[in-house]
Structure 1
Amino acid sequence: MSEHPSNYHRDAQFDERLLPNDEIELRELFSAIWAGKWLVIAITSVFVVASVALALYLPNIYKSEALLAPASSEQAGGLAGLAGQFGGLASLAGINLGGGGGVDKTTMAMEVMKSREFISHFVQKYELLAPLMAAKDWDANTNELVWDSDIYDSSAKQWVRAPKPPRGVEPSLQEAYEVFSEVLQVSQDKQTSLVKVSVEHYSPYIAKQWVEWLVESINQEMKARDLQEAQRSIAYLENQLAQTRVAEMQTVLYQLIEEQSKTMMFAEVRDEYVFKTVDPAIVPELKAKPSRALICVLGTMLGGMLAVFVVLIRHFARK
C-alpha cells in the first residue's frame, strides 16, 4: 500500500526545517569561536610556551643495545637432556633421569636476566645504586653525571633523601629492581631467534657499559647453573653406580657420567656460554628520547582544543 501524499508533504517540510537549523547551529559555533579568537590564541600560546619549556627541560636519554645469538648447546642441557637417550635402560634399574622438554636455555636466560634476584645481584655487584637512582642528567662536556642533591650527596657519597616508610633513606634493592626494569629491555626475534638487550640512561657511556656487563653476567650465571647441575648429576650417577651390579646398567651409568663430564668441560672453556655477541653495544651519539618536536606538537594541539572548548562553554553559558 502506498503512503498518502500528505505524508510526503510533511516529510519534505520537516527536511526543509532541519537543514536550515543545522546550518544555523554550525554558523553559530563558528561565530562563537571567531568572537573568542583572542582567548583561543592566548590559551594556545600558553600551552605552546609550556610544551616548549617542558621539552627543553627534559634531559636527553641515550639507549645502547647489543644483538646476541643463542650459543650452541651441544654439550649443555644437563641430565634432563640425556633422558631421551638412556631413560629406557635406566628405568629398568629404577633410575629416574627426569623428563625432557621444558623451557629452552635461551628463553630461560632471558627470563633470568629480567628476574628480581639477578637484577638485585647485578646492582650490588657493580655498585649501580647511585647512578641508577640518584642521577638526573649528564654533562657531555665533562662526561659526568648530574646528581639530584635532594636524594644523594655526591661529595660525601651519602643518601640524603627523606625516608618514606617502609622505605628508608637509602633505596632498597626492590626499588632498584623496579627502576632497572624500566630501563632494561630484553626481546627475541621469533623468526631469527636473535636476542636484543638494551639499556637506557642519561649517560651513553654508562648505558653501553651496563649492556656489556649484563651480557657477561648472564653468561656467567647460566654457566654456573649448568656446572652445579652437572656436578649434582655426577654425584647422583656415581651413587647409583655403587648400588647396581648389572653390567648393562653400569655401562649406561658410565656413559652418563662421561656426558656430564663433557658438559662441565664445555662450560669451563667457553665464556660466551649461552649468548654469542653478534653486534656489540656502542656509545650512542644520538638521544633515544625525549621527542621534543612531538611534545611541542601535542602541547599545541591540546591547548587549541582546550581553548575552543572553553570559548564554546562561555558562549552557551551566556546564552
Structure 2
Amino acid sequence: MIIGATLMSGILAAGISLMMPNIYRAEILIAPASDADSGKSAASSALSQFGGLASLAGISIGNSSSVEENLAVLNSRTFLWKFIQDNELMPILYVDEWDSVRKGWKNTNSREQPSLWDAFRLLTKDGVLGVDRGKKDDLITVSVEWGNPEVASKLANTLIVQLNEYLRQRAVQSSQRNLQYLNEALGKTQVQEVRQSLFELISKEQKKAMLASADGEFAFKVLDASSTPDQKVKPKRALIVLLASLLGCFIAVLLAVISDGVRSVNRKACEPYG
C-alpha cells in the first residue's frame, strides 16, 4: 500500500505539472537617477534660498520625489491602468479569453469580461509584476513573469520607459502650475524685494521645467535592460513530483499505522472469547 500510494502520488503530480504552463521571468536592473547627473540638484539648491516665500505659496522646491514614492507610482492603479491602455495589453493578459479573429472577447456578456481592475490585480497581486530593492545599495530589480518570454521582456523594458515618462510629465505639469501661480503673484505685488524674489523663483522654476523636459531617464536610469529569458522559473516539476511522492508516502504510512493499531485492538478484544 505504501509503495503503491507513493508511486501513484508521484505519477499524478507529474501529470498535473506537465499540464501547467511554463512561466518565464524577465528582469531589468535600474537605479534612482542621480540629481547630479541631470543637474536637478543645482536648481534645487538655488531655489532653497527662497524657501520661505515658496512655502507660503504652497510650492515645493525640494529635490525630486523620493525613490519610495516613485516605486509606489509603479504599482499604483492610475499608472498601471494607463500602461495597460496605452499598450493595449488586455488581449495579451487574457489571451485565452480573446478572439483574435473577431477582435473581441469570446464571452459577449460585458459583466463577465476582464476589466482593468482584473488586470491591475493580475499584475500586482498575482505575482506578475515584482519589485526587489537591494538592502545594501540603491539597485532595484523589476521583474515580469509571463508564459511568453518575449512578451515578459518587452513588458519589463517598456514599463520603465513609460514610468520615467509618466513621472517626467507629472514634474513638468507641477512646474507649470507653480509658474502660473508665481506669475499671478508677481502681477499683484509692487514691493520691490518681493518682486525680486518672485523673479528668482520664476527663473529657477523654469530651469526645473526645462531639465525635466530634456531628461529621458527622469526618475530611474537603466543599468541592465531586460533580455528574453531562455529558462523557465516555474513550475519546478521535479520538486512538485518529489513533494507529492513524500506526501503520498506519509499519508500511506499514517493509514498503515492506524489500520494496524485498529486490527491489534480488535484482536485483543476477541482474545477472551477464544
Of residues 203-212 and 183-192 in structure 1, the stretch that sits farther from structure 2 once superposed is 183-192
Provide, for residues 92-148 of structure 1, a one-character-per-residue CA deviation record: whole Å limited to 9, x for no partner: xx93345788994322221111011111111111111122123xxxxxxxxxxxxx3
Amino acid at match of 2:257: L
State the Cα distance separating 1:183 from its structure 2 match: 0.1
The verdict on how the C-alpha distance between 1:155 and 1:81 changes in structure 2, with shifts beyond 3 A counting, is farther
One-letter amino acid matched to 1:105:
S
How far off its partner does 1:212 sit?
1.2
User: Tell me, what secondary structure is at the counterpart of 2:156?
Assistant: helix
| C-alpha distance in structure 1 between counterparts of 2:186 and 2:29, whole Å | 44
Q: Residue 59 of structure 1 is aligned with which of 5, 15, 21?
A: 21
Letter in 1 for 2:118: E
Instruction: Output the CA distance in 1 between the equivalents of 2:115 and 2:138.
Output: 35
Give, in angstroms, the shift of residue 80 of structure 1.
Answer: 9.1
1:18 matched residue in structure 2:
none
The question of 1:115 aligning with 2:67 is answered no
TM-fit CA distance, 1:57:
1.7
Could you say which residue in structure 1 is the equivalent of 2:5?
A: 43
Q: Does 1:256 align with 2:201?
A: yes
Superposition pairs of residues 205-216 of structure 1, within 5 angstroms: 205-216=150-161
Identity of aligned residues (%): 32
SS in 2 for 1:256: helix
SS at match of 2:233: coil
For 2:156 and 2:237, the matched residues in 1 are separated by 26
Asked if the contact 1:80–1:99 (Cα under 8 Å) also holds between the matched residues in 2, the reply is no
Residues 40 and 63, structure 2, Cα contact 8 Å, conserved in 1: no
Distance 1:303 1:102, change over 3 A: farther
Q: CA, structure 1 residues 278+96, in 2 after alignment: closer, same or farther (shift >3 Å)?
A: same
TM superposition shift of 1:168: 1.9
Greater RCO structure (CA 8 Å; 6+ sep): 2
- 1:4-49 CA-partner distances (Å, limit 9, x unpaired): xxxxxxxxxxxxxxxxxxxxxxxxxxxxxxxxxxx11111111010
Instruction: Specify the code of the residue in structure 2 equivalent to 1:290.
Output: P
2:118 aligned partner: 175
> Does the CA contact (< 8 Å) of 1:76 and 1:226 recur in 2?
no
Asked whether the equivalents of residues 61 and 287 of structure 1 are also in contact (C-alpha less than 8 Å), the reply is yes
CA distance in 2 between counterparts of 1:100 and 1:307 reads: 69
**Structure 2 gap ranges (5+):** 266-274
Cα separation, 2, equivalents of 1:297 and 1:81: 61
- 1:191 equivalent to 2:136? Answer yes
* Closer, same or farther: CA 116–40 of 1 in aligned 2, 3 Å: same
**Aligned mates of 2:16, 2:46 — CA distance in 1:** 60
- 2:152 maps to 1:152: no
**Which amino acid in 2 is paired with 1:71?**
A
Structure 2 distance, partners of 1:159, 1:315, is 57
Structure showing greater Rg: 1
2:65 equivalent to 1:86: no
Backbone CA RMSD of aligned residues: 2.5
TM-score, with structure 2 as normaliser: 0.86
Aligned length: 259
- Counterpart of 1:286 in structure 2 is 231
Q: Are residues 316 and 81 of structure 1, via their aligned partners in 2, closer, same or farther at CA, if it must alter by over 3 Å?
A: farther
Tell me whether 1:132 sits opposite 2:96 in the alignment: no
Note closer, same or farther for the CA distance 1:46–1:224 as it changes in structure 2 (3 Å cut): same
1:162 offset after TM fit, Å?
8.2
Partners of 2:47 and 2:201 within 8 A in 1:
no
**Residues 206-262 of structure 1, C-alpha deviations (whole Å, 9 max, x = no match):** 001101110111011000110010000011111111122222221211111111111
- Aligned equivalents of 2:58, 2:81: Cα separation in 1: 33
